[in-house]
Every structure is written in structure tokens, then in C-alpha cells.
Amino acid sequence: MCSQILTDKISKNMLSPKEKAEIDKAISEVPVRKAAGIEALKIVQEHRRWISDESLQDVADYMKMSPAELDSVATFYNLLFRKPVGRHVILICDSISCWVMGYENILEELKSRLNIGLGQTTDDECFTLLPNCCLGTCDCAPAFMIDNDLYRNVKPEQLDEILLKYK
């Protein structure tokens, strides 16, 4: 359902003037146009949450790349989303220090509170829950990020308050 709604919303959109301006700036900083491909995908994702097939086609045209070539890049990187995500993306660190410090308890709490599993989005499209490699804050494990915010030394009893900020 989620994917249907999001696809309908943007399928008719071409790159907006703002997106184009930002992509042009990225292109100006590199000697080869293609080198800004990742940056262009990031920009589109920032504006549209994720990169649909249509967005990918538009970016590929603009970058003078084939969609297949650009998609080989888009599907390689963990943080370029080729499937719809919610308004807020939770990235929970599942690497070694967080594992030792019991991140699995936090994960289970998040799953039950949001009623979704890893890789899924809540019905109201508010949250997507994704696993993530070491967030580089191992002395404050367990940790997760919601969008640009980092939460460290997280305890299960703090989750309600944290999630409420994004509702």
C-alpha cells in the first residue's frame, strides 16, 4: 500500500528546478559529469525520500548515463533507497559493540512498538526500520539514528519518548 501511494505521488514529476540546481552544483565540483551521479541520487532522495524507477530514469537522463549504469551504483550503496521508506528512517546499529551491549533488546522493543520487522515501514508511513553497520559510537552502545539524529546508550524505557518526537 505504502509503495503504491508514494509511487503515485511522484511518478509524473520530472526533476524540479531546485533539484537540478543542486545537481548542477555537484557536477561543477567534479571533473567528470558521471562522478556526480551518487551525489545526484542523494539529492533526489533528500527531496523525495527514496529513488523510484522514474526518478532514476530522470537522474540518469540528466547525468547522461544509462539507467542501468546509474542503477548499478544506486543498488550498491546501503543508504540509497530504491524502495519506498517512511517519513523517518531508523537505522539501528547491529555491529559488534552494540551486539555485546545488548542491542537486540532495543531492536525487539522497536519492532513490537512499531509493529514492523527490519526492512519494513509502518502503516502510517511514519517509520522505516533498517539495520545499519557500526555507527562509530561504540563507547556509547547501543545506538541508533533516526534521520540525522544519533541516540546513544539507549535504554528500552526511553524508546516511547524518543519515538514520540517524530510522530
- Residue among 125, 132, 49 nearest 98 (CA): 132
Task: Give the DSSP per-residue string, 39-79.
Answer: HHHHHHHHHHSS--HHHHHHHHHHHT--HHHHHHHHTTSTT
Cβ proximity to other proteins, 18 vs 25, nearer residue: 25
Closer of 67 and 102 to other proteins (Cβ): 102
As a whole number of angstroms, the distance between CA 95 and CA 135 comes to 8
CB of 133 to other proteins, least distance (A): 6
User: In whole angstroms, how close is the CB of 102 to other proteins at the nearest point?
Assistant: 3
66 vs 72, beta carbon nearer other proteins: 72
Tell me which residues touch other proteins (CB under 8 A). Answer: 29-32, 34-39, 41-42, 72-73, 76-80, 91, 94-97, 99-102, 104-105, 132-141, 145, 148-150
